[in-house]
Structure 1
Amino acid sequence: MTIDTLITGARVRTFDPAQPWAETVGIDGDRIAYVGPASDAPTARRTIEADGRLLTPGIIDSHNHLLLGFDEDAVSLEGATTLAEVRSRIADFAARRPDLIWICAENAVYSIVEGRRPNAADLDGLTDRPVFVTTYDQHSVWLNGAALRILGIAAGVDIAWGRPERDERRGEPTGWVTDFYTSAMTTAGLAELQRDIPMYSPERRYRKLLSSMRMATASGITTAVEPQVPLAELGLFQRALAAGELSSRVITALFHPVGADGDFRQRLLHAVQDAEADADAAGLLRLGPLKLYADDVIEPHTALMLDDYANRPGVRGRPSYPGRELVEVISELDRLGFQTHTHATGDAGIRLALDAIEQAARRNGTKDRRHGVVHVECLHPDDLPRFRALGVTAAMQPRHCSPDLVAGTWMENVGEDRWDRAWRFRSLLDSGATVAFSSDWQVGEMDPLVGLYSAATRAGLDGGDAWTTQERVGIDRSLEAYTVHGARAWHAEGDRGRVRRGMLADLVLWSDDLYRHEDDPAGLLDQHAEVTMVGGRIAHSAGGLASPTAVRAEDPVAAGTGEKHVHAH
């Protein structure tokens, strides 16, 4: 028998208990046809000599906002930690782009002004045009005075895509808008954004999707889960599929907004059923899970906490749904057959999500739905064993625990007494829970090697002091969380997540044997995905071992031109 491709001379980490390691993998069509020693391998039309590099299952990024990629018509505030730097970048961009009606900026940090929220006055004097700035986590927006006037907020008009904060004494809008991402992807919120803010036009969103897709494939990601797709934007993915632009597989989680009714849920159900009936033969695009919110985020004190915020006595945040309505919503979605993917960051928000999932299973008699809770930033010890007991996936992001991200606002808001609840990767894995690692791009770097480093060190990318080191996770367990656990999270363990005969040939050949960096994980940051295979085809090649694929210059990771993400909360 002659097969299509043979990868030999590799250190193959299969994650197959029957054969944990191998040196050669054979591929025929879109499937793995052989795993074992080189001496027994079949002949192949093409051979790739790995020369000791590590070969693993393709990375499954279980929370990757593909629609939030870089926008060439917006200014990046990456690494800007002072108001002076923010003002300088926005002013320079405005001067260079007189063609733009709105000046949009991305990735602002919450601590840009010490001791308070940024406000409209902080943006005075930069341009006479409206300015629209999103925070790095997409949960807040910062507007200047011109934007407040144009949007009608200054005159008291409500907006569908967020909650404008107002000065307590005078009642005037401050320029800060909370609850952005939970509102922006509703039907009404997205319609207003697309009407008023050019950055949210379908064409610009499509460009971002394509850039993110190329970046994912170049990073070794063979399945990306886009965790929040409004029905109105589902067509962007279908367009990319038809155009042959989905270089890796995509699972889309459709957004279920607060206040959605039975009719809306039927629309979601019909969308999933239609997609299943018209599925693409290569399995590149799949619909199914639904995205919900239990709470917001810790930095602006809007995540739901069991006890007061350490620096805001009397404040515990709020649930996204009124009271315990989330319990009823998830029970209904579970009854309809949906898997849910629920954002929860505060310890009370996480408990609420777990309560809802537990009630759904009890009420409906369902088993193995594999509902997920996303982020799990501050986990009360009493709730840790519930993930395994309830069969709930913890979809978590290793980079989020880095001190260069959480020092300041996050740490101060939570308080030192609760730091031991932060991002409990090791404890959850030790409990037997499914922990699916992910990037949360564009909130954090998409590169899974950054995730491996962060999980192994709990330190910043500069190698500074580590934090909550008892929750460190080594390279092997992290790779397992990115592959085996990622497949299990999405009911995909039958065809991906392991290197085993008969599985999809979704594979990554890394630039080195990553295990060589176990004692000094900083070396992981110098590595890359050498070859990414999706369904047996070379979807990305850096050029050293196989025919290189085209890399477009605007892809910051793929082209090596992107700025490092350094968020200072």
Structure 2
Amino acid sequence: MTVDTLITGARVRTFDPEQPWAEVVGIDGDRIAFVGSAEDAPAARRTINAEGRLLTPGVIDSHNHLLLGFDEDAVSLEGATTLAEVRRRIAEFADRRPELSWICAENAVYSVVEGRRPRASDLDGLTDRPVFVTTYDQHSVWLNRAALSVLGIATGADVAWGRPERDERSGEATGWVTDFYTSAMTTAGLAELQRDIPMYSPERRYRKLLSSIRMATASGITTAVEPQVPLAEIGLFQRALAAGELSSRVITALFHPVGADGAFRQALRQAVSDASAHADADGLLRLGPLKLYADDVIEPHTALMLDDYANRPGVRGRPSYPGRELVEVISELDRLGFQTHTHATGDAGIRLALDAIEEAGRRNGTQDRRHGIVHVECLHPEDLPRFRQLGVTAAMQPRHCSPDLVAGTWMENVGEERWDRAWRFRSLLDSGATVAFSSDWQVGEMDPLIGLYSAATRAGLDGTDAWTSAERVGIDRSLEAYTVHGARAWHAEGDRGRVRRGMLADLVVWSGDLYRHESEPSGLLDEHAEITVVGGRFAHSAGALVEPTADRADDPVAAGHGAEHVHVH
């Protein structure tokens, strides 16, 4: 036997129980043709010596908002922790870009104004143009007075893409809009955004998608799950596929908004059926799961909690669907054959999602649907074993538990008595649950090495202020969560997630042996994906072992922006 490519001299972590470690991997076509020792390796048309580097299955990022990539025509508020800094950046950008009709900004933090939420008046005097600012988690929007006027909110109008807040006494719009992302991706919400806000034009969304895909491939991600795609934006992914721009595989979860009816569900079913009938031969694009919301987020006190927020007596948030309507919706979607991917952060929101999945199985008699709950930020102890019992995937983001992100908002809102419920990676894994790690890009950095570090330390990127250390997870279990568990989450364990003969050749050669950082995980932050192989194709190379892939001027990895993507709450 002669294979196309032989990667030798590697430490190969296969995650194959029959052969956990190997030295050599052979690739023929788009498949793995050999895994074993150097002594038994076949002949090859090309041989690459990994020089002791670690080789693993390609990373499966189970929650990656590819459509929320960097926007060169918007202000980045990364690291802007004070109102003065926010104002400075917006003012400088507005002066520099007089041709823009709107000034858009991204990644604002909730705590930028101490003791309260930001208001339109906080943006006075910067520009006479409307200003539209999204928060780092995409769940809220901050508008200036000009934007409130242009959109009609100032005179009492509502918008389809969110819930404008109004002063309790005066009734005037404050400039803050909640429930943004749950509303923005509805048919009506997206249509209004595309009509009014330049940042949501199809061309700008497409540019973001391409930028994010290139970043994913360069980060060692061979499959990315875009968790919230409106029906109207499926064409962006099909366009990228036709143009040969999908350097990594993409699974798109179609958005199912609150209030969707039977006709909308039939439209979803038709879209999935059409995509399946015309699937690309390389398996780069797949439609299928549906994204829903059980609740919102903890930072603005809108996630659903079992007990009052620690700093808001009488407030417990709210469910996204009225009452327990989510139970009926998931039961119906399960009956129609859909796998669901439900956002739930508060302990009551998580319980509601679990109840809905359990009821769906009871009513429909379905098995192995593998419904998922994403984020699982505050998990009541009584609900922890239900993930394994119900076969529910916990799609979780290690970086989200970092204290430099959650101190001052999440921690204070939940209260110290409930901190032991926070991001229970280890407890869920120990229970036998499927825990699929992910980035939640652009809410968090895309780089899975940051995820590995965060899971191992539960500390900030500077190594300080580690908390809830009982839930730390070592490098091997984290890699398994990014590969084996990621494949299982999406019914893909038959062709990816392990380094095994016959599997797709979706592989990563890292810059070094990641396991040598077990005792000092900070070293992980100095590593990178050296080679990314997708279906036998060398989709990314940093240049140390084979010719580097060509840099693109609009690629944030090549430009160095990816490493700078750090959120501060």
Measured against the shorter chain, the TM-score band is: over 0.9
Say whether the 8 Å CA contact 1:296–1:303 is kept in structure 2: yes
Q: CA deviation at 1:563?
A: 5.4
Q: List per-residue Cα deviations over 1:547-567 (Å, max 9, x = no partner).
A: 211121332234434452332
CA contact (8 A) 1:511 1:529 kept: yes
| Local SS of the residue matching 1:547 | coil
Given that 1:111 and 1:568 are in contact with CA atoms closer than 8 Å, whether structure 2 keeps it comes out as no
Cα deviation digits, residues 192-231 of structure 1 (max 9, x gap): 0000000000000000000000000000000000000000
Aligned to 1:291: 291
CA distance in 1, matches of 2:544, 2:565: 27
> What is the letter of the counterpart of residue 379 of structure 1?
L
Q: RMSD across aligned C-alpha pairs, in angstroms?
A: 0.6
C-alpha deviations, 1:445-471, integer Å up to 9, x for none?
000000000000000001112010000
Give, in whole Å, the separation in 2 of the partners of 1:370 and 1:125. 52
The equivalent residue for 2:56 is: 56
Aligned twin of 2:158:
158
How far does the alpha carbon of each residue in 1:138-194 deviate from its partner, in whole angstroms, 9 at most, with x for none? 000000000000000001011000000000110000000000000000000000000
Alignment of 1:161-560 (within 5 A): 161-560=161-560
Secondary structure of 2:292's partner? Answer: strand
Counterpart amino acid of residue 357 in structure 1: I
CA distance in 2, matches of 1:380, 1:424: 10
Amino acid of the residue matched to residue 520 of structure 1?
Answer: E
Q: Is the 8 A contact 2:309 2:414 kept in 1?
A: yes
Counterpart residue identity of residue 134, structure 2: T
SS in 2 for 1:387: helix
Distance in 2 (alpha carbons) for counterparts of 1:167 and 1:5: 65
Structure 1 unmatched runs, 5+: none
Contact kept, 8 Å, 2:346 with 2:379, in 1: the verdict is: yes
Measure the CA separation in 2 of the matches of 1:537 and 1:563.
Answer: 25
Q: Secondary structure at the match of 1:40?
A: coil
Corresponding residue for 2:42? 42
Q: Is the 8 A contact 1:407 1:568 kept in 2?
A: no
Do the aligned partners of 2:385 and 2:431 also contact (CA within 8 Å) in 1?
A: yes
* Contact 1:56–1:507 under 8 Å retained in 2: yes
| C-alpha distance in 2 between matches for 1:158 and 1:164 | 7
Given residue 235 of structure 2, which amino acid in structure 1 is its aligned partner?
G
What's the CA shift for 1:546? Answer: 1.1
Question: Amino acid of the residue matched to residue 143 of structure 2?
Answer: L
Shift in Å, 1:477: 0.1
User: What amino acid sits opposite 1:392 in the alignment?
Assistant: V
* SS of equivalent residue, structure 2 residue 39: helix
Q: Closer, same or farther in 2 for the Cα pair 1:243/1:207, shift >3 Å?
A: same
- Structure 2 gaps of 5+ residues are none
Once the two structures are TM-superposed, the CA of residue 2 in structure 1 deviates from its matched residue by: 1.3
Q: Which 4+ stretches in 1 moved above 4 angstroms?
A: none
Asked whether the equivalents of residues 63 and 395 of structure 2 are also in contact (C-alpha less than 8 Å), the reply is yes
Whole-angstrom CA distance in 1 between matches of 2:344 and 2:118: 25
What letter is aligned with 1:22? A
Q: Residues 30-60 of structure 1: CA distance to partner in whole angstroms, max 9, x if unpaired? A: 0000000011111111111000000000000
How many Å separate the matches in 2 of 1:46 and 1:295? 52
Partner of 1:566: 566
| C-alpha separation in 2, matches of 1:557 and 1:450 | 15
For the 8 Å contact 1:297–1:346, the answer to whether it is kept is yes
Query: Matched residues in 1 for 2:456 and 2:253: separation?
Result: 29
Tell me the TM-score normalised to structure 1 length.
0.99
Paired-residue identity, % = 89
Amino acid of the residue matched to residue 61 of structure 1? D
Q: Deviations over 1:281-300 (max 9, x none)?
A: 00000000000000000000
Partner of 1:15: 15
Residue of structure 2 in register with 1:132 after alignment: 132
Q: Which residue of 2 aligns with 1:3?
A: 3
Moved more, 539-548 or 193-202: 539-548
- 8 Å CA contact retained: 1:7, 1:48: yes
In structure 1, C-alpha distance between the alignment counterparts of 2:537 and 2:373, rounded to whole Å: 33
* Partners of 1:81 and 1:189 in 2: CA distance: 29
Does the aligned pair in 2 maintain the 1:556–1:563 contact within 8 Å? no
- 1:106-117 maps to which residues of 2 (within 5 A)? 106-117=106-117
Give the SS at the match of 1:233. helix
The aligned amino acid for 2:229 is: V
C-alpha distance in 2 between matches for 1:559 and 1:49: 28
Q: 8 Å contact 1:2–1:42 — kept in the other structure?
A: yes
- 8 Å CA contact 2:445–2:562 kept in 1: the answer is no
> Structure 1 residues 178 and 126, CA, compared in 2 at 3 Å: closer, same or farther?
same
Contact (CA 8 Å) 1:27, 1:536: kept in 2 or not? yes
- Write the letter of the residue equivalent to 2:529: A
Equivalenced residue count is 569
Amino acid at match of 1:516: R
